[in-house]
Amino acid sequence: MRILGIETSCDDTGVAVYDSDRGLLAHRLYSQTALHSQYGGVVPELASRDHIRKTLPLIRTVLTEAAIASSLPRGPRLDPIGEAGVGPGGLDGIAYTAGPGLAGALLVGAAIGSGLARAWGIPAVAVHHMEGHLLSPMLEPDPPTFPFLALLVSGGHTLLADVAGLGRYTILGESVDDAVGEAFDKTAKLLGLGYPGGPAIARAARAGDPGKYPFPRPMTETKKTHGAHPGLNFSFSGLKTAVATLVQNNKSLDPPTVADIAASFQQAAIDVLALKCQWALDQTGAKQLVVAGGVSANEKLRARLWELTERLGARVYFPRPEFSTDNGAMIAYAGWRRLRAGQSATSGFGVQARWEIATLPPAE
Ligand code: KG4
Ligand code: ZN
């Protein structure tokens, strides 16, 4: 089966072709970072308009590259698309991100994906963005197998889930306020590091002392809850507020100070994530931990979770850093898993700006 994947939920236009026999044939990402950086964050209307400009040209490029890749020996050939840029080119389905995300941005990918599928007479499948992230490590060699524990960390979500199979998700904990990626973005803004904040904090932190400022590790201390276990939920807004207070009281935000604050913030966030993973691994007895979503690109977090799982006799799985953040490959892959299980969008199309992953139908 060969699936075209389209991701337009936020500020990245991602397109890919996944082949169930041969793996990923082609993938491209167009990032809108330069467009939004002057505003310090994503401007939804500008995001939608840019997806409209970029999605079809990107699809044409990816289909051409996939045709070239599949004309190499082994397997059937994918017809190159002609000058007019139309033709299903050996595709068996089209997967598009239907939510959660920015409604206008999602509508672009949904309209293009379902329109092309209708015109080409192939099925369309509406993919849940976080399910895409969740399955992204399966694009790597030596992938995880169900069941496993998953930590999903992105700009909009922080959650720990017990994953029994495709669509069999039990949420063990999630953020009660800001997502961890959001905390990275807001902290970067406070420090004048710009957008997107995660990579900027990680870069600045390299020159800093992670022990310099003792920022809080919210919802990790049993003492403060009078012995009651704080559980597997997360809270990151207090951490961001602690940084804000420090910044307000600090007259000079010179580069060494910024580096120390960035490193101390990053350390606090990683401490919380690692501790909750440890508790969840203990609680479930899981031996595999899948970590995905934009924040999983963070090298310090990766190193910490490698070390933790090794110590506990478990294994950790990440997508390649390029597929930690939003991309079309994970959508093509998740779409293939859903189509293979007999699920596809029926008629018309819809998007869901808010969409709980636990409400997805089980498929395997
Ligand atoms: O998954 P993603 O690309 O988009 C959403 O679904 O939200 O995640 C984006 C988030 C942003 O908050 C960004 O700052 C964060 O991931 N991020 C990072 C790193 N790279 C991206 N956070 C920490 N360290 C990084 N290296
Ligand atoms: Zn994402």
313 with 332, same domain: the answer is no
- Mean pLDDT (whole number) for 308-336: 98
296 found inside a domain: yes
Q: For the chain, count helices (H), then strands (E).
A: 10, 10
* Other Cβ atoms within 10 Å of 320 Cβ, number: 13
Average pLDDT over residues 136-154: 98
CA angle 84, 88, 92 (to 5 degrees): 165
Does ligand 1 have an atom closer than 6 angstroms to the CB of 297? yes
Q: Are residues 120 and 66 in the same domain?
A: yes
| Residue corresponding to tokens 């840029």 | 85
Overall number of domains in the chain: 2
139 is a domain residue = no
Q: Which of 10, 325, 326 to mutate to test the pocket of ligand 1 (most atoms within 8 A of CB)?
A: 325
Let me know whether 241 and 298 are in one domain.
yes
Range 98-102 average pLDDT = 98
User: Does the Cβ of 154 fall within 6 Å of ligand 1?
Assistant: yes
- pTM for the model stands at 0.95
pLDDT of 76 above 50? no
Nearest CA among 163, 154, 157, 101 for reference residue 128: 101
What is the CA(347)–ligand 2 centre distance, in A? 26
219 and 80 housed in the same domain: no
- Say yes or no: 158 and 297 in one domain: yes
38 plus 181 within the same structural domain: no
CB 325 within 8 A of CB 294: yes
pLDDT band (50, 70, 90) for residue 87: low
CATH number for 171: 3.30.420.40
Cα–Cα distance, 173 to 55 (Å, whole number): 35
d(CA 3, CA 332) in angstroms, rounded, equals: 6
- Please enumerate in sequence order all residues whose Cβ is within 8 A of that of 233, keeping only pairs 6 or more positions apart, or say none: 173, 174, 175, 176, 219
126: left (phi over 0), alpha (psi -120 to 50) or beta: beta
- 163 and 59 part of one domain: no
- CB of 326 closer than 6 angstroms to any ligand 1 atom: yes
Q: Is residue 149 part of a domain?
A: yes
Q: Are residues 170 and 29 in the same domain?
A: no
Looking at the fold, whether 108 and 186 belong to one and the same domain comes out as no
In eight-state DSSP terms, residue 348 is S
CA distances in angstroms from 319 to 67, 105, 136, 252, listed in the order given: 25, 24, 6, 39
Whether the upstream peptide bond of residue 137 has omega within 30° of 0, thus cis, is: no
Render pLDDT for 263-279 as a digit per residue (tens, 0 to 9): 999 999 999 999 999 99
The residues that bridge with 165 in the sheet, in sequence order, are 168
What is the distance in A from the centroid of ligand 1 to the CA of 52?
23
**Residue 364 within any structural domain of the chain:** no
The DSSP secondary-structure symbol of 345 reads B
- Whether residue 296 is found in the same domain as residue 278: yes
Q: What is the pLDDT of residue 75?
A: 39
Q: How confident is the model at residue 348 (pLDDT cuts 50, 70, 90)?
A: confident
Query: Do 150 and 121 belong together in one domain?
Result: no
The whole-angstrom separation of Cα 91 and Cα 154 is 30
The predicted structure's pLDDT at residue 251: 79
Residue 85: pLDDT band (50, 70, 90) is very low
- CA–CA distance, 90 with 150 (Å, rounded to integer): 34
Ranges 27-36, 67-76, 176-185: which has the least confidence = 67-76
Give 190-223 pLDDT, tens digit per residue: 999 988 899 999 999 999 999 999 999 999 987 6
Q: Given pLDDT bands bounded at 50, 70 and 90, which one contains residue 89?
A: low
22-68 tens-digit pLDDT: 999 999 999 999 999 999 999 999 999 999 999 999 998 998 898 88
Indicate the average pLDDT of the chain. Answer: 93
> Is residue 180, in this structure, part of any structural domain at all?
yes
In a domain, 163, yes or no: yes
Tell me the residue range of the domain where 91 lies: 2-134+324-359
Query: What percentage of the chain reaches a pLDDT higher than 70?
Result: 93
121 and 264, same domain (yes or no) = no
Confidence of residue 154 (pLDDT cuts 50, 70, 90): very high
Q: Which ligand is closest to the CA of 322, given by its number?
A: 1
Residues 330 and 100: their CA atoms lie apart, in Å, by: 15
Is the per-residue pLDDT at 360 higher than 80?
yes
**Contact 325 CB / ligand 1 (< 6 Å):** yes
Q: How confident is the model at residue 77 (pLDDT cuts 50, 70, 90)?
A: very low
**Burial category of 247 from C-beta neighbours within 10 Å (exposed 0-12, middle 13-18, buried 19 and up):** middle
Q: Is residue 115 part of a domain?
A: yes
**Cross-sheet strand order for the sheet of 23-31:** 23-31, 12-19, 2-7, 93-99, 124-128
Q: Which of 30, 153, 184, 236 to mutate to test the pocket of ligand 1 (most atoms within 8 A of CB)?
A: 184
- Lowest-pLDDT choice from 66-70, 75-79, 337-341: 75-79
Lowest mean pLDDT among 145-149, 164-168, 194-198: 194-198
Please indicate whether residue 357 or residue 344 has the higher confidence score (pLDDT).
357
Q: Residue 221: what pLDDT?
A: 84
Q: Is 140 part of any domain?
A: no
